[in-house]
Amino acid sequence: MKFIKLALLLFFIPGLSMAAEKIFNADFRNRPPQMVVDGDKFSGPLKDILEEASSKIGYTVKWRKAPFKRSLEGLKNGSVDIVPRYRKTPDREVFTNYLGPIGYQERNVKFVVLKSNKDIIKTYDDLKKYKVGVKRGTSYFKQFTDDKSIAKVETSDDEQIVKMLRGKRFEVAIIIDEGAFEHSAKKEGFTDWAYAPYEFVRRLPNYYGMSKTSPNAGEYDALNAAIKGMATSGRVKEIYMQYNVEPPVQ
């Protein structure tokens, strides 16, 4: 009897509750300005949006820095709940629910070359003449993704793209995130590069990917409603403006 009373007392004392904390495990990678890694510090509008939406349904977010390939594996096996800045593709829909989108962004898919090769890519067909560096697991645009006549060389991240372009392992690299590439080039002290004249423009929905197999998969509907509510109310725009970053259009 004394044990039961003690257990009840401990349960109701603030800070000693036996109720488990509800946590989403989310992955983070450096994609300035929407996601910024500075040593062991993470910041950016996509971080703040997810944390605020999660808090609305009683969750906190535990962040881990990880390359995108590892994040994909985590979503597949359920060890990762959520990955920000996530593209919708048919193969990912097997193991992913999509949160949002929080809006849309028109983005120029660019091609980077050495300065001495600045004009080698003037049309799409020019890509078929050279080796093209791509990031493993990244979705670009359908024509490029499906084109088997282009020699594609896989890399793990923007830093490897910089090193391999400088080392002439390929003549061209495809870039969907200028900020991330330019950050890596600056970090590596690489200035002998230029954007090619040819670009491809696409309208991209900005999703978070949520695992269908994680222990928290059942929270998808509630979290998705919270995120969409933030988008339609203008809260997403407010958070972006706090960082002086152009918000996605609705």
Q: Domain containing 163: what range? A: 105-203
The reply to whether 124 and 190 lie within a common domain is yes
pLDDT at res. 20: 81
What type of residue is 212? K
The reply to whether 99 and 6 lie within a common domain is yes
The reply to whether 228 and 197 lie within a common domain is no
- Token pair, residue 227, equals 């995120």
Report the SS3 class of residue 132.
Answer: strand
- Residue numbers of the chain with a pLDDT score lower than 70: 1-19
Domain annotation covers residue 64: yes
| pLDDT tens per residue, range 45-99 | 999 999 999 999 999 999 999 999 999 999 999 999 999 999 898 899 999 999 9
The reply to whether 14 and 65 lie within a common domain is yes
Q: Where are the alpha helices (DSSP H) in the chain?
A: 2-12, 45-56, 68-77, 142-146, 158-166, 178-187, 220-233, 235-242
pLDDT at res. 10: 45
Give pTM, 2 decimals.
Answer: 0.64
